[in-house]
């Protein structure tokens, strides 16, 4: 069968369980689509065609034997190449990591996807060491946006988002330190979930900033996002930051009504510098949710600056030895920011963490009075590949460091966010952040599902 790559994960898993098609047929059609489009989109750095077909055959065999094939039966997926994949070195978008020995086991979330019956297609392109918002990588070239290939896919999980948007697998896994799930979701016009900090274990993934790193899924529907999230949850001892929280069954809750939900729009920092497309997107979502209240988060700009400082300092510390001995092997844009982080005085880092605690307490008080807050995911649609500046608050500012202006203050304090795509008939899509209180992923997903049912947000397959 052809065009199976166009189906959502939910449709694939149901079709395989109902024996309308096989996992082998889905994997074969999806891999053919990957083979056709990856040379132009540059989404995958490693394609595991042989092992993917073997895994698909195992799903079909379990079903034939009367065994449960899993929640994600036969669903193809890819992972950002900072996730460990058994038998491959974990590149993390770098040249230096090519010299590492192959991973001896899959990362925990990769293993959980496979245990649920999903079929791994391979590793996906990213900014070097996750330090970027565009996936313009000096070693491996840019990932291209399937909505318009002259534009960036966003970053640092650009390959993972672009692959989902183009049908190179219905779902994928990425990471988000300062916005690396929400930014590419916005630019590629798909859904992304950044869970609460500590919700999903990071065991078996290459780190960037221990205090800020999150892992999460991308999808073209809210149901698929919830399906993956339900399969990924659970404590793991390998990540000291992972919280032992009850597992949510979010997929079962998506149809629950949101009547009486208290929704507010973030203004100030989150409004004053946004472009017209971002403001329109937030306005459409706010109208659909009957959000009439606005809230200002004091010191959001300072929170973003503190996130920058923690990112630079911790990133520099992680890569300090290679900065001393292999500086020329870094992507120059990443190397220079890491070097700057290595020069930050300790007092700056101490002050940044103090501000983080203060800002977290301030935002906790906000959630006493509201259930969900809305903000743009990016200040504008996807810039052109190589575009040096974007317009922000009436000023031209460097593109790469400023795309995450609205995501950084939120991940800085670990809040759960669903990024939802607002399509446009005249321009590239822009995403909106649906932000909830800690551990309230199910609420953010319910709101996203409501917006999807209303037709306000959608992630149609990009036709490339």
Among this protein's residues, is 80 annotated catalytic? yes
Nearest Cα residue to 164 out of 193, 133, 200: 193
Catalytic residue among 55, 94, 156, 175: 156
Catalytic residue among 180, 185, 411, 442: 180
Phi and psi dihedrals of 411, rounded to 5? -70, -25
Residue 156 preceded by cis peptide, ω within 30: yes
Among this protein's residues, is 194 annotated catalytic? no
With beta carbons less than 8 A apart as the criterion, state whether 137 and 93 touch. yes
Catalytic residue among 80, 94, 157, 185: 80
CA 382, 383, 386, 391 dihedral sign is negative
Among this protein's residues, is 221 annotated catalytic? no
**Which residues are the active-site residues?**
80, 156, 180
């Amino acid at each position: 069968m052809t065009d199976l790559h166009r189906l959502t994960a939910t449709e694939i898993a149901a079709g395989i369980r109902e024996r309308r098609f096989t996992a082998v047929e889905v994997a074969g059609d999806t891999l053919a689509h990957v083979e056709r489009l990856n040379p132009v989109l540059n989404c995958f750095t490693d394609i595991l065609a042989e092992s993917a077909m073997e895994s698909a055959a195992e799903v079909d065999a379990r079903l034939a034997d009367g065994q449960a094939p899993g929640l994600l039966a036969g669903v193809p997926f890819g992972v950002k190449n900072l996730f460990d994949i058994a038998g491959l070195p974990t590149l993390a978008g770098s040249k230096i990591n090519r010299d590492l020995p192959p991973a001896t086991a899959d990362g925990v979330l990769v293993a959980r996807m496979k245990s649920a019956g999903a079929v791994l297609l391979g590793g996906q392109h990213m900014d070097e060491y996750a330090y970027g918002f565009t996936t313009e990588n000096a070693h491996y070239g840019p990932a291209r946006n399937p909505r318009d290939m002259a534009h960036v896919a966003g970053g640092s999980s650009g390959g993972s988002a672009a692959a989902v948007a183009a049908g190179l697998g219905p779902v994928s896994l990425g990471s988000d330190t300062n916005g690396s799930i929400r930014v590419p979701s916005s630019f590629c016009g798909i859904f992304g979930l950044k869970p609460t900090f500590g919700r999903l274990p990071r065991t078996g993934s290459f780190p960037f900033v221990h205090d800020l790193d999150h892992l999460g899924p991308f999808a073209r529907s809210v149901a698929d996002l919830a399906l993956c999230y339900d399969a990924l949850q659970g404590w793991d001892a390998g990540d000291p930051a992972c919280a032992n929280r009850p597992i949510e069954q979010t997929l079962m809750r998506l149809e629950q009504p949101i009547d009486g939900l208290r929704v507010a729009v973030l203004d100030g920092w989150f409004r004053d510098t946004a472009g017209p497309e971002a403001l329109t997107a937030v306005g459409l979502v706010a109208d659909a949710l009957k959000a009439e209240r606005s809230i200002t988060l004091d010191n959001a700009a300072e929170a973003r600056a503190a996130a920058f400082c923690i990112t630079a300092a911790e990133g520099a510390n992680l890569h300090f030895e290679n900065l001393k001995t292999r500086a020329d092997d870094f992507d120059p844009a990443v190397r220079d920011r890491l070097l700057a982080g290595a020069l930050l005085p300790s007092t700056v880092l101490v002050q940044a963490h103090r501000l983080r605690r203060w800002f977290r307490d301030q935002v906790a008080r906000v959630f006493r009075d509201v259930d969900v807050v809305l903000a743009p995911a990016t200040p504008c649609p996807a810039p052109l590949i190589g575009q040096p500046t974007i317009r922000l608050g009436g000023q031209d500012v460097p593109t790469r460091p400023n795309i995450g202006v609205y995501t950084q203050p939120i991940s800085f304090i670990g809040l759960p966010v669903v990024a939802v795509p607002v399509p446009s008939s005249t321009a590239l899509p822009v995403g909106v952040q649906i932000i909830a209180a800690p551990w309230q992923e199910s609420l953010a997903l319910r709101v996203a599902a409501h917006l999807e049912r209303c037709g306000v947000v959608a992630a149609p397959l990009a036709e490339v």
